[in-house]
Chain A
Amino acid sequence: MEELDIKEIWQTQKLSAPDLKENELEIMLRKKSQSIVDKLKKFVRIEHIANIVVSILLISYFLYQEDYAFSAALFVFLTFVIIYYKRLYNKLYAIQPTTDVHVYLYEVHRELSDFMKKYMISLTFLFTIAFGLGLYLGLKDEYLGDKLRQPGFYIRIFSTFAISIAACYLVIHLTYGRKARKIKALLDELEE
């Protein structure tokens, strides 16, 4: 088959492309994007809002309890978490599919891998804080404190902690790991 033949075949195709029905484009544009970057953006935005709300509630609670030192420590820590999420969102927002394919794949892969890595680290931190906080409040409580000091309690609570973290890692890996590998394979193919 001659070189020209393939192009000729391609150009003879009559792709029946009728006009989009009235309002069809508007309806289409109102739909949510299914792109991986937009899903990450949405995820980070929800987390960011949740972090702000939870931070305000937690700090207010400890201020109400007149535990000022703990409130201050929590304020510093949560401020860092909020700044981190804001920066993560800004970096995701900067990725646009209008760049060339190589740049786009590279940026999506970098952000996806970074997202997974940083999310696992921050999850470990937040889990530790949540468990530590629960333990701290529980031990402070007279009634609960006695129950918590029963034998085997620490083994149970640390096992639950480890299993919860492992389960979260697995979910992140299954949700984003495969996608990151696919994009890496495309990038390798492009760079070969």
Chain B
Amino acid sequence: MSSTEFFNTFIRDQKAIIAKICRTYSDNDEEFQDLFQEVAIQLWRGYESFRHESKVSTWVYRVALNVCLTQFKKRKRNLPTSSLDDMVHEPAQEGVDPIHEQVNLLYDGIKQLKEIERAIILLYLEDKQYNEIAEILGLTRTNVGVRINRIKGQLKKYMDGRIGHQGDLADTKIISA
């Protein structure tokens, strides 16, 4: 198996993680694809020198977050057609899939947060332990704990507000009908 084939397998295993991070930091498909591509390039470059001192997932989160945080908008699209198009969620279709809508709402809430807060909550949602989050971000465990509680509060407030608003809209529609 050539190194490219080996890396292809590696990316296939990790692409769900990469896609979630890229989606958190992108506003449209074009940005998503550019971020995904940049993360893949940086992983490829660092792949040979990865010494397994940390978990593979920790390493992937670090690279992906570092790329997404330091990538600047206004990027030129340079991936004309790609299967990555299928990786991004389509906009929620009202009443079609409530789970899909909830996920979109959660992403909307996360995108309201500051960029570092997004990274913290993303790792929390990915079920990472406080120690691992601290290791990825270079923070202390205590700091991570405090921040997660604060961000969860913000996220909860946002989602409650949006769900309440959507409920009100639904009620209005029923009354109108």
Contacts of A16 in B (CB 8 A): 86-87
Could you tell me the distance in whole angstroms from the C-beta of A22 to the nearest C-beta in chain B?
10
Q: Which residue of A lies closest to B46 (CB)?
A: A98
| Contact (Cβ within 8 A) B137 A33 | no
Q: Is the CB of B11 within 8 A of A20?
A: yes
Contact, CB under 8 Å: B70 / A108: yes
What are the residues of chain A within 8 A of B59 when measuring CB–CB?
98
With the chains together, A151 CA to B15 CA distance in Å? 70
Cα of A96 to Cα of B47 in the assembled complex, Å: 12
With A and B bound together, what is the CA distance between A18 and B16 in angstroms? 10
- Given known A29-B41, A186-B116, contact A18–B83 (CB-CB < 8 A): yes
Which residues of A lie under 8 Å from residue B114 when comparing CB positions?
A: 189
User: When A6-B155, A16-B86, A17-B15 are in contact, do A25 and B4 touch as well, CB less than 8 Å?
Assistant: yes
Q: Does A1 contact B (CB under 8 A)?
A: yes
Q: Are B37 and A31 in contact (CB under 8 A)?
A: yes
Chain B residues lying within 8 Å of A10, measured Cβ to Cβ, are: 103, 106, 125-126
From known contacts A17-B87, A20-B8, A21-B82, infer whether A186 and B115 are also in contact, taking CB-CB under 8 Å. Answer: yes
Which residues of the partner chain B approach A186 to less than 8 Å between Cβ atoms?
Answer: 69-70, 115-116
Tally of chain B residues near chain A (CB < 8 A): 62
Q: How many chain A residues have a CB neighbour from B under 8 Å?
A: 44
Is A34 in contact with chain B by the CB < 8 A criterion? yes
Q: A189, B115: Cβ atoms under 8 Å? A: yes
A97 touching B160, Cβ below 8 Å = no
Contact with A along B121-138 (1 / 0, CB 8 A): 000111100000001111
Query: How far, in Å, is B101 (CB) from chain A's closest CB?
Result: 10
Bound-state CA distance A102–B152 (Å) is: 22
Taking a contact as CB atoms under 8 Å apart, the answer to whether A36 and B4 are in contact is no
A19 contacts across to B, CB distance below 8 A: 12, 83
> What are the residues of chain B within 8 A of A108 when measuring CB–CB?
70
Expressed in whole angstroms, the Cα–Cα distance for A21 and B11 within the complex equals 12
Q: Determine if B112 is an interface residue (Cβ-Cβ < 8 Å).
A: no
Which 7 interchain pairs have the tightest Cβ spacing?
A102-B138, A100-B138, A97-B66, A10-B125, A13-B103, A189-B116, A104-B66
Q: List 23 A-B contacts (CB under 8 A).
A: A1-B159, A3-B152, A6-B125, A6-B159, A9-B106, A10-B106, A13-B99, A15-B16, A16-B86, A25-B4, A28-B40, A31-B41, A31-B78, A35-B70, A97-B66, A101-B62, A101-B119, A104-B62, A104-B70, A105-B70, A108-B70, A186-B70, A189-B114
